[in-house]
Amino acid sequence: MGKKVTKAVIAAAGLGTRFLPMTKAMPKEMLPIIDKPIIQYVVEEAVAAGVTDIIIVGSANKRTIEDHFDHQVELEQKLRKDGKGELADRMEQVAELANFIYLRQKGPYGNATPVLNAAHLLDDEPFLVLFADDFFRSKVPRSVQLVETYEKHQMPTIALIPVERSRAKSYGIADIKTVLDEKSLELSGLIEKPDFASTAGYVFTPEMMRYVEKLEPDKSGELVLANAMNQFAKDHGGQLFGRIIDGQWHDAGNKEKYLEAIVDVALSDEVIAPAFRKYLEDKLAEH
């Protein structure tokens, strides 16, 4: 039995230019989905998978992320004094979700950079790689599903979703070597043809990390995780696994997808959904 996944690296250094001027003072990762910021959904799924140490790699304007996952004693005390103990409990639970470690991203552009920044904290262990504006609404959290496949095969595992042919070129597409079961695939790498798309969400092993550390910048000057995964799969004759994630994927990195995420989460909320659904129906009827 290999080591358990107890650490997660969450990339949160993006500038959020698509949401300016809102993100001039507030990180895009803190944009709310109803009553929780996007990044909290990501942290909660990692914790559900057994992660105890969350490494958030951010940038200079991300202080509010640190504040969010810390105790606010005065506010918690006031809530209890005002008879709002349940809300105070929720506030405390956010701060107690995990051990939080914060780093500032340094180095070239690319989605491999935050992983490299956290290398000294990973102790030669398997770890999750997640992105702070990307989450799934699902009965079983994405990270739980990823770790399940990793624990079965003890090899690097990436999150996959079915993708329409017309949208295939927007994503890294899984080159399937072997269908292991209805949810797990062995991959030869990532290619540009329609089938299953790689979404953000990986379990990396120490050996995969060595491939990340050897990355050279691509033509655009970026360090790209897909290049490390492709080289790993090539050198190992596969042994890169994909997990088809059950759930609704939300990449909340642009305005349209962000609004879709809010609507989807609202319609799944037993309290909010009835009135909100009627509001939407009435608005659609007007137009």
Q: Hey, where are the domains in the chain?
A: 7-153+198-223, 258-287
Instruction: Say what the pLDDT of residue 20 is.
Output: 84
Low-confidence ranges of the chain (pLDDT < 70): 1, 163-196
CB atoms within 10 A of CB 100: 17
Instruction: Say what the pLDDT of residue 237 is.
Output: 76
CB hemisphere CA count around 201 (13 angstroms): 31
Instruction: Say what the pLDDT of residue 258 is.
Output: 92
Instruction: Say what the pLDDT of residue 163 is.
Output: 66
d(CA 149, CA 259): 31
User: Position 100: which residue type?
Assistant: F
CB 130, CB 249: distance < 8 Å? no
Instruction: Say what the pLDDT of residue 187 is.
Output: 63
Q: Give 175-221 pLDDT, tens digit per residue.
A: 444 444 556 666 655 554 446 677 779 999 999 999 999 999 888 88
d(CA 56, CA 39): 10
Question: Which residues lie closer than 8 Å to 114 by C-beta, 6 or more apart?
Answer: 9, 10, 11, 12, 13, 57, 103, 105
Residue labelled with tokens 């798309």: 197
Instruction: Say what the pLDDT of residue 273 is.
Output: 95
* Adjacent-strand bridge partners of 37: 32
* Adjacent-strand bridge partners of 32: 37
Instruction: Say what the pLDDT of residue 184 is.
Output: 63
Domain 7-153+198-223 sits in which CATH superfamily? Spore Coat Polysaccharide Biosynthesis Protein SpsA; Chain A (3.90.550.10)
Instruction: Say what the pLDDT of residue 172 is.
Output: 46
- The DSSP annotation for 157-221 comes to EEEEEE--GGGGGGSEEEEEEEE-SSSEEEEEEEESSSSEEEEEEEEE-HHHHHHHHT----TTS
